[in-house]
Structure 1
C-alpha cells in the first residue's frame, strides 16, 4: 500500500469525442445482446431492429460533426489514427450498414425472413419444424451486425498491428456466425460458414506472421514506426518485404482478390442473402480503407520490389472475376464473381499512389457498396413459386428471373440501375467510380493495367446485360415472383437506386468532400 501511495501515476488521456461513434455502435450491440437474453420474446425483434437502425444513424451524426474538426487537425491517439480517411470510411460504413439492416429486418407477407427461426436447430429436424410452426424468430443478427460494424470502424484507423488484428477478428467473427443462419438450404449455409471460418483463420495467420516479421524488423508494433524504420534499414530489406507481403495477403483475402478469392462464391451463395449484401459491401469498404493506409504509409516505400507482384494479383483478380463470371447460372454466384472483378478494379486505385487516390477509392467503394446492398435486397424478394401459388425460397437461378420487369417494374427497374452501375454505364455512380480510379491508374504509371481493366469491364457488362435481357425482354416465367413484404427491404432498395443515380448525375459534392481525404503520415 505504501508503494502505491508514493508511486507517481499518469492518468491516460482518452479522446472520448474521437471514440464516440465506435462506442455508440458497440454499446448498442451489447445492449442488443442483453435484450436478446432478458427481454420478453415478443419484444426482442422490434427492439433489435430499433437499435440496429438507430445506432448507425446516431454514429453518422457524430461523424459529421467530427469531420470539420479532423479535416483541419488530424491526430494520432496512440494506436488509433483519426484523420479524414478514418472519418470518411466510418461514415460510409454506417450508412451502408443502415440500409443493410433494413434489408435484414424485412419479412414477407407470410412472416418468413431470410434467417432461420432458431439457427441452432438441426436442418430438417423436429425442433426446426416446431420453431417454424410457432413463428419463432431469434434476432441476434442485429447485435452481431453491429459488433461487426464496430470492428470495421476500427480497422482502417489502426496504427498498430495488434489493433489491426483485433479489429479484423471483431469484424470477422460475427460474420462467420451470420453466414450459418440461413432459413433455407441450411446445410449449404453451414458449409459456407465453415469455409469462411477456416479460410479466414488462414488469412489471419498470414497477417499475424507478417506482423511478427515486421516487429522483428522495426522492433515496434506501430505501423507508423515501421514506415520510419524502412528507409534506414541496412541489409534487412528482405525481412520487411516478406512481412509487408504477408500482411497484404491477409487484407487481400478480405477483399476477395485472386488467388485468395476461393471463399467468395460459396460464402456469397450459402449465406442469408441480406448478410451477403452486408458482407460484400461493408467488408470491402473497411478492408480497402485499411489497405489504403497500410499501402500508402508502408508498402509504397517498397513498391520497387512489391508493385510487380501486386499488379499481377490485380490482373489475376480482374481475369478471374470476369471470365469465370461469364459461365455462372446463379445470380448470387454471378454477383460474387462480379465482386471479385470490382476488387481488381479498386486495387488499381490503391496501387496508383497519386494525390487524391484515397478519396477516389472511397467513392468507388461507396458506389459499389450502395449498389450491392440494393442488388442483394432485390434477390431476397424474388421467390420461387409453384402452380398452386406456394411461395418458396429465393429463386436464384437466372432463368427464373425471366419477365419480372413486366410484372414488377419498380423492383426490376431498381435492379437495372444496380446492374448498370456495376457495368460502369454513364449517369450511374459506378461509371464515376471507375472513371476516377482508372484516371489515377494512368497517372500512377499503371496504364497497361487500366487497359486490361477497361477490357474486363466491357466483358463483365455481358453478364449484367444478360440478366437485363431476361428481366425486360423475355416472356414472364411462372416459377418466380416478387413477394410483398413488410416494406423495409423495398424502401432500402429504392433508396439505394436513387443514391446510385444521384451519385452518377451529381458526383461533384461527394467528390469534393472526399478530395479532402488524406492519410496522416508518420
Structure 2
C-alpha cells in the first residue's frame, strides 16, 4: 500500500473529464442528425478509460492520493471498469432510440452520460466523506438532466421533478448522517473514522443516530424499500435510453459506497447496520416482488424487479459479520457474493432494456407487456435474448442469475446463525413468487398472437452487442468461476489494504 499524493489514482477520471469537455466543444461543430462524430469519440474515450482501469485493477495494488481523499484499489477499479463498459453499451443501445425522438439535437446525451460516469468514478474512488458526496451530487445532477432531456415530453419532465425532489431529500439524509459522524469522530477520512470508532471513545448513541441517516441515504440510492418510491415513476417516465443508464452503472456506485462507508468505515457498528439492512432487504423482497405482479407496463415491472434484486444484494452485505466477529473468510464470502450479484444484475438489465429499446419505433414506445406479444414469431433472436434475461432475473439455472442468488444464499447459510438461515428461506420463497411475473412475459412472447406484423430491425452494432450481452448471461451462468474469483480477489485485496 502506497500512502502518498499520487496522480495515478486519478488518471482515468482526468482522461474522462478532459475528453468530456473536448467532446462537448467538438459537438458544437457537428451537423449530423445522429451526432456520429460525437458518438464515435465518446465510445473511443470510454474504451480507452476501460482499458486503463482494467490494467490498474490487474496490478492489484492499493494507492492513496490527495491526502488520503482518493483511493485506487482492485475493487474500485473493477467496478469503474464494469461501469464504463455498461455506459458504452447504454449508448450503443440508446442512440437509435434517441435519434428517432429528436433527443440528439445537441450532444447533451453523450456529454451528460460522461459526466454521470465521472460522478460514479468519484463515488467509487472516494476515501473521504466529502469526495463521496461530491461524486454523488455530480451523478445525480447529471441524471436529473438526462431524465428531463425530452423537454417536450410531459412524462419525462414529471419524472425528472419527482427524481429531483426525492433525490435531494435522500442526499440530505446522507449528508446529515456523514456530518454527525464527522462531529463525533473529528475526521472526514474513512480510515480515521474506523480507528476512532474502534477505540470505543465515542458515544454509541451518537454514532447510531448518524448511522440511521447514512443507511437511509444509501437505501435510496440502491432503490431499497421503503426508500424505493422514485424508481417505478422514474423508470417509466424517463426516456428508455435514459432509464437503462439509471438502472445499470449507478447501481455499481451505490454498492461501492456501501462497502466504503459501512465496511471500511463503520465495521465496528456492524451489529447495528446489519439489523437495518435486514429490515430493508425483507421490505425490498416483499414489496418488489408483490408489486411487480400487478404491473402491465414492462418498464414499471422491471423497476419493481430492481427493488427485489437489491434485496438480495443487501442480504449479501449483511452476512459478512457473524455474531459480532468479522473473519476474513466470512467477509470475503459475503461481499464477493454481493459484488458478483450486482455486476451480473447490471449485465442482465442492460440486455433486457436493450430489447425494449430495440422494439421501440418512432412514435411507439413498446413499454407494455402486451407489446411483446408474439415476439418469437417476429424475431426469434431477440425473443430468445429477452427470455434468457427474464429467466436469469428469476434465478432459473443454468443462467447467471441462478448462480448469483445461490452465492448470496450460501453466504447467509454459511453463517450458521438461525436468523440468517430464516432470511435465506424467506428470500427463496420471494424468488418463487417473483418467477411468476418473469414467466408471464415469456408466455406473452412465445404463446400470444402478435398484435403487429412489424419486423424488428436494428443496426449492426446494436445487433452484435445485444447478442453478445445475452450470450454472456448464459455463459457466465455455466462458467461463473472466473468472474466469481475476480470479485473474491478484489474484495480480499481491497479489505486487506
Residues 1:29 and 2:20 aligned together: yes
Task: Report the equivalent of 1:3.
Answer: none
Whole-Å separation in 2 of the counterparts to 1:299 and 1:243: 11
- Structure 1 pair 422/153, CA: closer, same or farther in 2 (3 Å)? same
Query: How far off is 1:321 after superposition?
Result: 0.4
Residue number in structure 1 paired with 2:324: none
Matched residue, 2:428 = 454
Alignment partner, residue 129 of structure 1: none
Partners of 1:223 and 1:294 within 8 A in 2: yes
Query: Structure 1 114/248 Cα, relative in aligned 2: closer, same or farther at 3 Å?
Result: farther
Match of 2:476 among 503, 509, 515: 503
Identify which of 350, 366, 380 aligns with 1:395.
366
Aligned to 1:105, which of 88, 95, 103? 95
Residue 167 of structure 1 pairs with residue 143 of structure 2: no
Q: Equivalent residue for 2:297?
A: 330
1:498, 1:15 → 2: CA distance?
39
Q: How far has the Cα of 1:250 moved from its partner? A: 1.3
Does the CA contact (< 8 Å) of 1:383 and 1:482 recur in 2? no
Work out which of the residue numbers 139, 160, 175 in structure 1 matches 2:107. 139
Could you say which residue in structure 2 is the equivalent of 1:355?
A: 331
Counterpart in the other structure of 2:262: 295
Going from structure 1 to structure 2, the CA distance change for 1:214 and 1:407 (only over 3 Å counts) comes to: same
SS of corresponding position for 1:515: helix
Task: Check whether the contact 2:373–2:444 (CA below 8 A) recurs between aligned residues.
Answer: yes
Following TM superposition, by how much is the alpha carbon of 1:13 offset from its aligned partner in structure 2, in angstroms?
6.1
CA distance in 2, matches of 1:462, 1:436: 22
Secondary structure of the equivalent of 1:257?
coil
Deviations 1:414-448 (A, max 9, x none): 10111011111112111111111221122244222
Residue 40 and residue 309 in structure 1: after superposition, are their counterparts in 2 closer, same or farther (change >3 A)? Answer: closer
Residues 1:52 and 2:29 are matched in the alignment: no
Structure 2 partner of 1:75: 63
* 1:464 and 2:441 matched: no
Q: Which of 222, 237, 242 is the equivalent residue of 2:209?
A: 242
How many Å apart are 1:24 and its aligned residue?
A: 2.1
| Higher RCO (C-alpha 8 Å, min separation 6) | 1
2:309 is aligned to 342
Cα distance in 1, alignment partners of residues 456 and 221 from structure 2: 33
Instruction: Give the superposition deviation at 1:337.
Output: 0.2
Instruction: Say if 1:100 and 1:290 are closer, same or farther in 2 by CA, change over 3 A.
Output: same
Please name the residue that 1:382 is paired with: 359
The correspondence of residues 307-318 of structure 1 with structure 2, limited to 5 A, is: 307-318=274-285
Q: CA deviation at 1:485?
A: 3.4
Give the SS at the match of 2:71: strand
Say whether the 8 Å CA contact 1:18–1:66 is kept in structure 2.
no
Q: Does the 8 Å contact 1:432/1:507 carry over to 2?
A: yes
Q: Do the aligned partners of 2:360 and 2:366 also contact (CA within 8 Å) in 1?
A: yes
Partner SS state of residue 177, structure 1 = helix
Question: In 2, are the aligned partners of 1:349 and 1:358 still within 8 Å (CA)?
Answer: yes
Secondary structure in 2 matching 1:517: helix
* 2:364 match: secondary structure: strand
Q: Does 1:84 align with 2:51?
A: no
On the 8 A contact 1:319/1:456 being kept in 2, the answer is: yes
**Which stretch has the larger CA shift, 437-446 or 144-153?**
437-446
Q: Secondary structure at the match of 2:457?
A: coil
Q: Which moved more, 1:407-416 or 1:332-341?
A: 407-416
Distance in 1 of aligned mates of 2:398 and 2:294: 28
Q: State which of 371, 374, 377 in structure 2 corresponds to 1:406.
A: 377
**1:196 and 2:167 correspond:** no
Whole-angstrom distance in 1 between the partners of 2:117 and 2:270? 31
Give yes or no for contact 2:289–2:304 (8 Å, CA) kept in 1.
yes
* Superimposed CA distance per residue, residues 176-235 of structure 1 (whole angstroms, 9 cap, x where no aligned partner): 11111248x810000001111111100110111111101110011111111111122346
SS in structure 2 at match of 1:48: helix
Q: Which structure has the greater CA radius of gyration?
A: 1
Question: 2-side partners of 1:511 and 1:91: how far apart?
Answer: 16
User: What are the within-5 Å matches in structure 2 for residues 278-293 of structure 1?
Assistant: 278-293=245-260
Structure 1 residue aligned with 2:326: none
Residue 349 of structure 1: CA displacement?
0.8
1:482 Cα deviation (Å)?
5.2
Q: Deviations over 1:341-399 (max 9, x none)?
A: 00001101111112323222222112111111111111112247xxxxxx532121212
Residue aligned with 1:81, SS: strand
1:319 Cα deviation after fit: 0.6
C-alpha distance in structure 1 between counterparts of 2:100 and 2:267, whole Å: 43
User: Following the alignment from structure 2 to structure 1, what is the Cα–Cα distance between the partners of residues 306 and 144?
Assistant: 19
Q: Contact (CA 8 Å) 1:104, 1:489: kept in 2 or not?
A: no
8 Å contact from structure 1 (residues 374, 418) kept in 2:
yes
Structure 1 contact 193–267 (Cα < 8 Å) conserved: yes
TM-score normalised by the chain length of structure 1: 0.87
Please give the alpha-carbon distance, in whole angstroms, between the structure 2 residues aligned to 1:330 and 1:146.
29
Secondary structure of 1:258's aligned partner: coil
SS across alignment from 2:396: coil
Query: Which residue of 2 is the match for residue 18 of structure 1?
Result: 9
Correspondence list, 1:181-220, <5 A = 181-182=149-150, 186-220=153-187
Q: CA deviation at 1:500?
A: 0.8
Comparing 12-21 with 137-146, greater Cα deviation is found at 12-21
